[in-house]
Amino acid sequence: MQQQLRYVQEKCPFHFLRFHGIFDDDMMVYQEDSKGNPTFNFRYVNELFDFLLSIGLKPFVELGFMPSALASDQSKTVFYKPSYTSPPKSLDKWCKLMEGFIYNCFNRYGRREIESWRFEFWNEPEFSVFWSGTKEEYQEFYRATYETLKKISSRLQIGAPGRIITLESNEYGAEFFSYCQEHSCIPDFLPIHFYPHEELNLNLDNMNQMFITQTYENMLSNFTGISPNPDYLKTSLEQENGLSTLNQTAFLRAT
């Protein structure tokens, strides 16, 4: 993978790289001792960031998923190598992990560098397969994380929620931004995910059911059939920008 990234950067360089799983168990970031006290290990995180920066890529960090030792429900996972998708068993311990993570990055790379990165809060929480909690739990989870990071530096760039704009998830976004306005935690940018498959234009309940009930092979069939519309991305962005007045106001404030 590193060889492939080096090749891409040589032939067609990018500015940022977004990825899943910075706190997955493979990264060995979070453990608890016999008394339940958290311990942090950022060795693999630093090795990853060292490499990305060495080839001219800034990390676009997705804050997730949950370390298994911090997950409130370890039965809620996604992917072949499990990523844990439940809320934290302790919001306080999660916020301490966020503090440790950011201060580790400050100490290693400098405050100004980290303030130029992007931090997306969770992946597609509208899907139960990626977020097993409620919408209300996600909102409170986001707010606690936002406030923790902004206390460290108001210049940290935090975006949420990472939604797929080719799904009928406008209501989810409108409720989220209403919450953010009420609690003064408007995100700094809006991360949006785009798939050029018109078959994905389903409601969230149907998509969640598809993830739960279908085999992986059958599920992949929903990702076939690229839209014949060459302006599908443009159209989707126009629809996203044409949300309710509340959502649009939040968008303008966030950008």
Q: Which residues are catalytic?
A: 124
Cα 116 to Cα 59, 62, 166: the distances in Å are 9, 15, 28
3, HSE (Cβ side, Cα atoms, 13 Å): 0
The residues with which 88 forms a beta bridge, in sequence order, are: 71
Q: Which two tokens stand for residue 85?
A: 């998708």
Distance in angstroms (rounded) separating the CA atoms of residues 59 and 120: 11
Question: Residue 226, Cα to own-chain centre: how many angstroms?
Answer: 25
Distance in angstroms (rounded) separating the CA atoms of residues 52 and 102: 17
Q: Which two tokens stand for residue 122?
A: 């969770």
Distance in angstroms (rounded) separating the CA atoms of residues 133 and 113: 33
Closest of 92, 172, 100 to residue 139, by C-alpha: 172
The residues with which 162 forms a beta bridge, in sequence order, are: 123
Q: Which two tokens stand for residue 55?
A: 């080839």
The residues with which 40 forms a beta bridge, in sequence order, are: 30
Distance in angstroms (rounded) separating the CA atoms of residues 219 and 109: 41
Contact 168, 201 (CB under 8 A): yes
Computed over its alpha carbons, how large is the radius of gyration of the chain? 19
